[in-house]
Chains A and B, each alone.
Chain A
Amino acid sequence: MLKKIWKYLSSMQFAILLLLILIVSCAIGSFITQGQTFEWYKEAYSERAAALIIATHMDDLYHSPWFLVIAGFLIANLLLCNLIRAPQLFRRFKDEQKIDKALSESVTCSFHSVDKPGPVFAALSMPKPVKAEADGKKILFSSSNRIGLWGAWICHLGVVLLILGFGLGQMTHEDYSLYGVSGQSKQVGDTSYICSIDSFRVELRDDDTVSQYRADITVHDSLTGNSQAAEISVNHPASLFGYKYYQNSTGWAARVSVIKNGSLLQETVLCAGESLTVMDLPELILHFNALYPDYVFIDGRGPASASGALNNPAYLYTLYYKEQLLGMNVLMEGETITVDDYEFRFSEPQNYTILQIKRDRFTALAFAGGILTLLGIFLAFYLQPRKVWAVQENDGSWTVSGLSIKSSALFREQMEQAIQRSQNSNT
């Protein structure tokens, strides 16, 4: 019984079943929006469907226990298959160049009464044949592409490394996000690193579309006191202290000043989405909702921006006092809002940057897996082993035979043509 299970686990039948299950699961996962709540699915589908999705972990299908189990089985299946096949492959690899093996094997095709076998080898692009003798008969033998025998094996190993690298990376990766304007410094998650945004630029083309987001950053290790600096932009991340820094996105920020009885009480740079608590009246909060760089008011739609350029900046804010909404409005550059003794003003609109900071120690493993998979596929498909040999008969003519397991139909045709060409050139 155990032997049967073992055999099934390493079988190709099981492999096909696993691949089919993976195909269906991946397809299902692509149709169900991932990472939503029960309420969301209830709204989108129905209560029953939502319950089913949550119960079967289809809300996070690609990280669900059952998906991991399938991936685990695939790894086991691939490893077992490779383990079992390795000794056989090694033997076949060695035998590929043995003449006696070829003579005793079945052949793809054989042609008798060939006058000159040399041109046949050349026409088939085989390596120069070696000469030998068996049972008193002269033999010419050539084999090529035996490395191709390892193609599927290497490809399978690559897939295993790819899945392992990806899975381990998912389990152990660190992922932080950080935002700020030029001149700000912030801690990277809970690490000992402080990231300073030295400068941030949004580069525009003539038509006002964005050509690049570029940030100069310096990362300071508060444990060792060392610093490293780099310029990052979209598609050009930088590695600092083993973490990769990505220029991920951008948003608008502005300086907010709070003036009390005519003198400046407090001033800070706020990114859209952030709030400011008034220093000496913490119940009074100003929330900076959004910035419209090129403000227009569209009937039926409300405030909007005509372009991405800073032509006519306007600031959407909300004010709260003791958690009660005091008001929400749009403020133009230079205008102020007054609440009792306090006056609020927005100025210096600028872009802030959003950085993504990542560390995945297993990316290299997954990458190596990918390269091996590619290499294996190439070897399996484009270096298919083939052998050609010629035996001289008693009448002096030759019998030319060939063997190609994977492409026999094509190989037979190529041999026919090669034989014909060599016969024609003789006549």
Chain B
Amino acid sequence: MLKIENTLFTAVMLLYFASMILYFVFIAVKNDKLSRVAILLQAAGLVLHTAALICRGIGAGRLPMTNQYEFATSFAWGLCLVSLIFTYRFKFPMIGAFSAPVIFLIIGYAAMQSREVKALMPALQSNWLGFHVSTAIIAYGAFGVSFVVSLIFLLREKMQDRSFWDRHVPEKEKLDLISYRSVCLGLLFLSFCIISGSIWAERAWGSYWSWDPKETWSLVTWLIYAVYLHLRIRRGWKDRSAAWFAVIGFICVIFTYIGVNTFLPGIHSYK
């Protein structure tokens, strides 16, 4: 099973890479058909990615979400899923175009991690693990989408070729709304993630909050998106500050995920 997973993983990387290149070409040559093919490639990548995760789960005999490699590949999967849903729902291929490099970077990071399957230490053997990590994956995916949409929001005015952008990128009011909807999804799931993590920590370690760096950074991320919401309410969609917070929020997501494990070891460092 793990061999099949390896092959599928390579195919997924190639598909994501091809879709990213096609998206770039779509923006460069402004050919709408290319965006449709890129979306299809991304969707095919997602299907194989799902199969790869299932193979990993069967091969390891547990949910594939417990080490740096497994979480990285699941993170890329979550971002791809949410970005495709938002691309479809808002008929907005630029979401896919901007997400593709982020997805590729994350899956590239996953490829650099050890794929060894290790037995779980007792503290990780909990039904809460699956819920805790799956909610994180959806939350991170949704924040990734709000990041790319907010970037588009911030870049929109600077674009020279107005006709292409006007055709492919909605008005700023709608961009703000799409970013807001993805933050809503992300924040709801991040809240689920933090609360389920606390319940689990309470059962495993007897303390539901211990200011472990990963906990602290998930709180920082949560608070940043709270600031985003309030700035948006206070200043309205025309103001750029909320969009900046969505960008900073995702940088914090990445830091919470990669930076904390690298620079600030704690119980979440998978060591």
Contacts and interface: CB of A to CB of B under 8 A. Distances in A.
Determine the interface band of chain B, counting residues with CB < 8 A from chain A: 35 or more
B85 interface: no
Interface in B175-206: 176-177, 181, 184-185, 187-188, 191-192, 195, 198-200, 202-206
Contacts of B230: 12, 15-16, 19
B258 to A, nearest CB: 14
Contacts of A234: 122-123, 125, 204
B174 interface: yes
Contact of B122 (A30, A207, A235, A371): A235
B223 A235 contact: no
A246 B208 CA distance: 13
Interface string A3-39: 0000000001101100110110011011100100000
Given A211-B122, A410-B174, A12 B233 contact: yes
Contacts of B220: 23, 26-27, 30
A22 B177 CA distance: 27
Nearest to A214: B122
Interface in A179-201: none
Nearest to A210: B122
B1 to A, nearest CB: 18
A319 interface: no
Nearest to B119: A209
B173 A235 contact: no
A371 B125 CA distance: 24
Nearest to B118: A209
A185 to B, nearest CB: 21
A26 B223 contact: yes
B227 A26 contact: no
A30 B264 CA distance: 7
Pick the most buried of A12, A13, A20, A409: most chain B CB atoms within 10 A of its CB: A409
Contacts of B205: 246, 248, 356
B234 A62 contact: no
Interface in A367-395: 367, 370-371, 373-374, 377-378, 381-382
Contacts of B173: 408-409
A382 B184 contact: yes
A132 B217 CA distance: 54
A378 B191 CA distance: 10
A174 to B, nearest CB: 11
B125 A235 contact: yes
Nearest to B204: A235
A246 B200 CA distance: 13
Interface in B143-187: 171, 173-174, 176-177, 181, 184-185, 187
B16 to A, nearest CB: 29
Contacts of A367: 199
Contacts of A22: 223
B267 interface: no
Contacts of B21: none
A233 interface: yes
Contacts of A413: 174
A356 B206 contact: yes
B171 A23 contact: no
Contacts of A207: 119
Contact of B206 (A27, A29, A246): A246
A212 B211 contact: no
A26 B212 CA distance: 11
Given A234-B204, A410-B174, A377 B121 contact: no
Interface of A: 12-13, 15-16, 19-20, 22-23, 26-27, 29-31, 34, 62, 166, 205, 207, 209-213, 233-237, 244, 246, 248, 356, 358, 363, 366-367, 370-371, 373-374, 377-378, 381-382, 407-410, 413
The 7 closest A-B pairs by CB, nearest first: A381-B184, A234-B122, A246-B206, A30-B216, A209-B119, A409-B174, A30-B213
5 contacts: A16-B230, A205-B119, A211-B125, A213-B122, A374-B192
Interface of B: 119, 121-123, 125-126, 171, 173-174, 176-177, 181, 184-185, 187-188, 191-192, 195, 198-200, 202-209, 211, 213, 216-217, 219-220, 223-224, 226-227, 230-231, 233-234, 260, 264
Given A356-B206, A377-B187, A382-B188, 15 more contacts: A12-B234, A16-B234, A20-B227, A22-B223, A26-B219, A30-B211, A30-B220, A30-B264, A212-B122, A234-B122, A236-B203, A237-B206, A366-B208, A370-B198, A377-B191
